[in-house]
Structure 1
């Protein structure tokens, strides 16, 4: 074989071996989450299943139920924004960045069951969370959860979802809930034309934890309003404020989910502190 041809043969063989060796590495790399996306956003919860909760006014609301073995409590979690997480009957989620959605697996690891209701027919909930009709939807969800098990129940709402949690809690008889968590609550009037102050905060009979990130720059959820929210909850036997700090910014908007408003990058710390408060309500 001529020397020139032999070198060409050896070069091609070496190239094939080199790129063959790289192939598994490339496949493995694609199995990892994209940079900047928290692991919890792609981890599903435990024993996930889609449930269709019947409503007294007709129809049903689709929800994602994630249940660890022997849950210590059930968290009914209301997302912010439009409230539409794009939950399909097969369990797929189109909008999973919201704090309460992307951390469901972390709550399960702490032995809390999580129920995340979607909007009815994917309708935008802005402006409707404080309505009497949505209070009835939450009551129907509570009825479903209590039938599912005997574990204590908490309502948990973040951002616009805090309005829903407050609405449900204000129309719930004493003794029904172990507690209510409102995080980065919308307290300044914006495009949705409703805030937590649109509801009778004084009628909440359950213990309440208000979480406020001092780094949050969302214009409709200023952290300093946590004191005003707490002062309005005169009917609650115990109102506490949890002040946290930090978070990364990946969202284009200050009220986005992947920002300090959504506890992006500090999820574990925030969940640990909220869990510590909930444990005191389970004793």
Structure 2
């Protein structure tokens, strides 16, 4: 808003005329002195425009700016809070010797689908090259704190359409680096298969994101990949919100509590999901 040549009244210096203006300051020529003020902050406390219509329009602008400033401050406060939480989490993970990305997600094909949920175990696949070619992959990061998330998409679907169809905590005695047959067994209690209707609401890329390419959704090869512990908590929390019924609520509550306990997470401070699909 151009205020050059407009007349203002100052609480101390009296009447003056605006002679210069830029994005951050205005200069006012009073009868006895020339003063420079921070713009637009000065209009909030010290200076008032004499032109009533212009003053009202400026007030509308200032009101909008104040609202935007509050939003920015709230966002910065949230970012500071999340930064502190992340720092505390990294410290706790280090103390507890827990890898920050010790969860695993599988790409199920049609042959896997039914068998995985019958046996409640999933095969890691085989090494494709090198001296160990043909041997089962060892998912070395997996420990009892790990969760296997099961996903699939139809051949005609885009990668962005990948859905979560189930999940389970690994067995309480499972150590990935010591596993020889490539099969990951589930925990006796903490496992869940989603219905087709539920899966339609659980897009995998709502949670997963490559920090180097936040908007890119690509899974070109490999049967599995690791992902962040916090994303696993977000998935469980959203399944908990979706499922109704007292018995289901109690079971999923226990599932989430167990997961958060083993991964040194506070379920009350789990951030909102912000995966690649939500970055579009």
Structure with higher Rg: it is 2
The normalised TM-score by structure 2 is 0.25
